Amino acid sequence: MKIVFATHNPNKLKEVAAMLPHFDLVSLTDINCHEEIPETATTLEGNAIIKADYVTKTYGLPCFADDTGLLVDALNGEPGVYSARYAGEHGNAEKNMNLLLANLAEQKNRQAHFKTVICLNINGEQHLFDGICKGKITAQKNGNKGFGYDPIFQPEGYKKTFAEMSLEEKGAISHRALAIQKLISFLQKI
């Protein structure tokens, strides 16, 4: 089954494609959608819906879109829905991590969790799936794999960050993997 994953991020596409080997997963670039779809909602769910609806309405294709946020307890859930643009510029992982580490410098509570929400538009219906991975923010960056906040997020029960894990290790426990598993279970029933 051909399905659009509403992303321009090649790292995210690679990570998700590894979890969906039985589907013909295509990106926004593959369908010649080169515009950035504005993420103007104040919730992760809202942003996922905006992106999926845009692709379905504009291209008439089944589509799923996700939005992910890192929610830090000591910062009242920041950066949350603004995770990708926490330091201002969209997608500047280094600046985002540096700002987060600076904001946590005096905090003892470093508990955090990643949350992914997926919106699937298929067969004229809309479905939402989510996944949460609990952990903590490390004091410094560790590892060079993954993307985003991976070098400073250590999942609960592990001694290494997401950026120190293989794609397979991260894919077994991550927030995105948990949401994708719910998506896969649903897709296998249709």
Residues identified as active-site? 67
Residues 6+ apart with CB under 8 A from 22: none
Rounded distance between C-alpha atoms, residue 104 and residue 51, angstroms: 31
Q: Is 176 helix (H, G, I), strand (E, B) or coil?
A: helix
CA nearest neighbour of 84 among 59, 67, 107: 67
Q: What is the DSSP letter of 13?
A: H
Rounded distance between C-alpha atoms, residue 170 and residue 177, angstroms: 8
Backbone torsions φ then ψ of 127, nearest 5 degrees: -135, 145
